[in-house]
Structure 1
Amino acid sequence: MFSPDSEVRHWPVVLASFLTVGLTFGLGSSLGVFYIEWFHEFPQSSALVGWLSSSVNAMLLLFSPIAGALIKYLGNRPVVIAGALISFTGLLIASSGREFYVLFMTIPFMTGIGCSMCYSGTMTIISDCFRKHFALAFGIAYSGGSFGIMTLPVVSGFLINHYGWRGALLIISAIQANILVCAKCMKPNPFGQTSTNLVDIGGKGYGSLEHQLSPEKAAPRDETEADGYSKASFSQNQSISTSIGDDRSKDDKLANNKNLLEKLVQFLDHAGLSLVWTNRVFASIIPLPILTSIGNSVTLLFLFARAESVGIPGLQAELLLSVVGVANIVGNLANGPLVDANVAELAFIYGVVEAVVSVSAIGIAILESYPFFVVYAVLFGFSSGIYIPLGGIMTANSPTLDKSPNEFKVN
């Protein structure tokens, strides 16, 4: 029906990615609603409970280089399926946890890592399937996170009020399992970067047999030397044989260590992780989101609690996160036309919106009235809706980078 190079047939992938991002990034951004419940339930410090509330987003981004390497080796769909199962299992176990350490182990290290695998797979498959309309498709797919931020806090608050936080986590884990259905729609593009360049672990490379030391080169002694030593006394032969064995054992260990090092270099090279120290453009992009990540963490984690602390009712405080989500969707959808219009350099736009998001950590501490909270939520949501997908587009459009799954997750 469509030509092999037509992008129309890939739009179901955008829909599946939209839902997956909403259930992963949106989940991590809405766990702040559970902060007060966990703080009252467990005798832990507010800092530790706050870290738990933000741990999913932290692990989502921190684990993304490893998830990108897995995608390079295994493909998008298997990684997304595995991530969905891990995330679902983590929430399911956490819902029945009676001790804080259960949540400490499951939410960051199971749900967070699982969400990272799902999120990374969706971001990569968009770059595989779209070239001409990449900015638009990327913006639509990423707006799923905004949709999740808009809906999941309200849904979570409703579930907490009716079923408690354990029942809420149990139901959310069932919702999270729907990523498995989305993964079914993520059919790999045979003409994409990742699908056509899956790494063959047994292929030639830095760790192939061609680069290993041959037994002849590794042996420190030849037969002529052995014949010369055979003329010595029995005790001398015995000591020399021991010395030869020790030397040969040392050489074998050196060869094995070199082989392991070469295989590690091969893995880092094929996975794209070596770009961190081999490509100056990529290395310069990586530090940019650090300040904005601080602003994101403070806003999404403490906005609800801060609003309640100044006397704003619970439902209105939950709606602030929904306002962030709506503004984020508008920013995501405006991102594609803004890039295509070429009204300014992408780096300039990126710097402006990053500055707005970065100062958000200061703004949230001085707000007192609800209208100012709403204005703050709109500015933060719109700016973050532009800068996050814009970072991926800047990376994808860089002419000096060899595209790999890790390049689209620097944010």
Structure 2
Amino acid sequence: MNLSVHDTYTFAAGELNMSPAAASNLDYTPPDGGWGWAVVFASFISIGFSYAFPKSLTIFFKEIQEYFSVSYSDIAWISSVMLASMYAGGPISSILVNRYGSRPVVMAGGLMVCAGMVLASFGTSIIHLYLCVGVIGGVGLAFNLQPALTIISTYFQAKRPLANGLAMTGSPVLLSTLAPLNQFLFDSFGWRGSFLILGSIVLNCCVAGALMRPVNKLVKPKPDIELSKRNGEEVEGIGKQPDAHLSVDKENSCQRCLYRFIDFSLFKHRGFLIYLVGNVAMFFGFFAPVVFLAPYAKDLGIDEYSAAFLLSIFALVDMFIRPATGLIGNTKWVRPRIQYFFSFAVLYNGVCHLLCPLATGYTGLVVYSVFFGSAFGMLSALLFEVLMDLVGAPRFSTAVGLVTIIECGPVLLGPPLSGALVDIFGDYKYMYYACGVMMLVPGIYFFIMHYYNYKKLEEEHRKSADVEKRTSDEAVTLNANQDDQPVNE
């Protein structure tokens, strides 16, 4: 049994797919450049708004909290609902991308976020902001995030970690811009006027969507079609029973559509399950430290602009770490074991949060912002690359949709639960301790489970090689025996 390149990929995808093999199941060769770099720039903008927008809105939280006379936990629900809606809208976004492509979905997402912010500017209650900023804006961000991630995997294979790292850099770049801009807008126009202006700014996502031209797929010809058209003649049997063939084709088409949109077989995929379980635990402590960074600084008596500048420092470090992480992840030493790199990034985040309460004064918070920015940047640059590494590019769109719908629970509950700790204890340090533990435990879990996963993969490849060698030896022996038999004349 001689395994072809396609068979080798299919076998590996059943358990843990390594990145270099992922493209072998595609019916075209990814260009790894060309217009792909314009697509990376468009994804840079789209992903940047998706992740930076909810964080940058925290600048307005203190004032909105006082305006509506609500608690820390209540105000945290704005970003929480927005992020949860962004994750919950993942499967819908994936279905639309598979049906219509990335370009129209991203443009529709930009219009939705704009509408949500404009409607929120007329808000009369905190519930109004939950619905407009949180739900409408969050679903709009989902329509920006998934298409941007998916289209990169269609343009890049060999340079995919680098392309992902550059695209994910959009989040810190836009955050470092939006954080001081939002403070300036608030001082000049108040939070209502700021929301109107931000609604127009986010329309840049429509421009990004226009750049997301579908990849030019050089499709390999199908053997049966090529054979049937040889010398202009039809092969015997083709077209004799049109109704039967039409019925079978329709059934296969429905099965392919269902598999493409909702691939539940991923829940039997070992690597996918390891990723999913660890991420669900991790996301309880992933966003809260960023959401509460500026309010924490203001609570310590630091002025508004200096508090906003902490987000800019965090974003500036994050900005350089993401492409650097992509370059490191693309090296021949790291890429074959990139899951360990991801595990280290999760663990590093947990350690940063546990040490945060030891930082005293503004200088201490600046040091924390630097280390947190580097940890957050590493994790964010690898977050979706490692999922592509596990399931392969062809299954990534459906995989990211399933992951995001499940992760929306911890994304929704994480910041409000953290805010509740602040309300109960009247001190932010317990919130940072809790987030540190919620990142530290998944980091250790990832190290252990990926070690187990890599070992299992090596065993399965060895068994496959042994079977292939044994089958090949038997074939050689059989041929030799046939050659030795006398020929009857």
TM more than 0.5: yes
> Which of 98, 102, 105 is the aligned partner of 2:124?
98
The equivalent residue for 1:388 is 380
| CA RMSD between the two structures | 2.9
Superimposed CA distance per residue, residues 293-347 of structure 1 (whole angstroms, 9 cap, x where no aligned partner): 3333221111001111112221111111111111111221111221122444312
1:7-406 to 2 correspondence within 5 Å?
7-191=33-217, 268-344=258-334, 345-398=337-390, 402-406=394-398
**Deviation of the 1:25 alpha carbon:** 1.2
**Amino acid paired to 1:300:** V
Superimposed CA distance per residue, residues 179-213 of structure 1 (whole angstroms, 9 cap, x where no aligned partner): 111111110113299xxxxxxxxxx99999759xx
8 Å contact from structure 1 (residues 30, 153) kept in 2: yes
Structure with more contact order per residue of length (Cα contacts < 8 Å, sep ≥ 6): 2
Q: Judging changes above 3 Å, is the alpha-carbon distance between structure 1 residues 44 and 191 closer, same or farther for their aligned structure 2 residues? A: same
**Deviation of the 1:403 alpha carbon:** 2.3
C-alpha distance in structure 1 between counterparts of 2:317 and 2:57, whole Å = 19
Structure 1: gaps spanning 5 or more residues: 194-203, 212-261
Superimposed CA distance per residue, residues 193-248 of structure 1 (whole angstroms, 9 cap, x where no aligned partner): 9xxxxxxxxxx99999759xxxxxxxxxxxxxxxxxxxxxxxxxxxxxxxxxxxxx
Task: Tell me whether 272-281 or 13-22 shows the greater mean CA deviation.
Answer: 272-281
**Deviation of the 1:282 alpha carbon:** 1.2
C-alpha distance in structure 2 between counterparts of 1:358 and 1:142, whole Å = 21
8 Å contact from structure 1 (residues 299, 364) kept in 2: no
Secondary structure of 1:132's counterpart equals: coil
Name the % identity. 25
Structure 2: gaps spanning 5 or more residues: 1-28, 220-244, 405-489
Superimposed CA distance per residue, residues 139-163 of structure 1 (whole angstroms, 9 cap, x where no aligned partner): 1111001112211111111101110
TM norm structure 2: 0.65
C-alpha distance in structure 2 between counterparts of 1:49 and 1:376, whole Å = 24
**Deviation of the 1:33 alpha carbon:** 0.9
Secondary structure of 1:352's counterpart equals: helix
Superimposed CA distance per residue, residues 50-83 of structure 1 (whole angstroms, 9 cap, x where no aligned partner): 1113332232223223312221122111211111
Secondary structure of 1:404's counterpart equals: helix
C-alpha distance in structure 1 between counterparts of 2:251 and 2:397, whole Å = 28
Secondary structure of 1:136's counterpart equals: helix
Q: Judging changes above 3 Å, is the alpha-carbon distance between structure 1 residues 333 and 156 closer, same or farther for their aligned structure 2 residues? A: same
**Deviation of the 1:272 alpha carbon:** 4.4
C-alpha distance in structure 2 between counterparts of 1:80 and 1:210, whole Å = 31
C-alpha distance in structure 1 between counterparts of 2:49 and 2:342, whole Å = 26
Equivalenced residues, count: 348
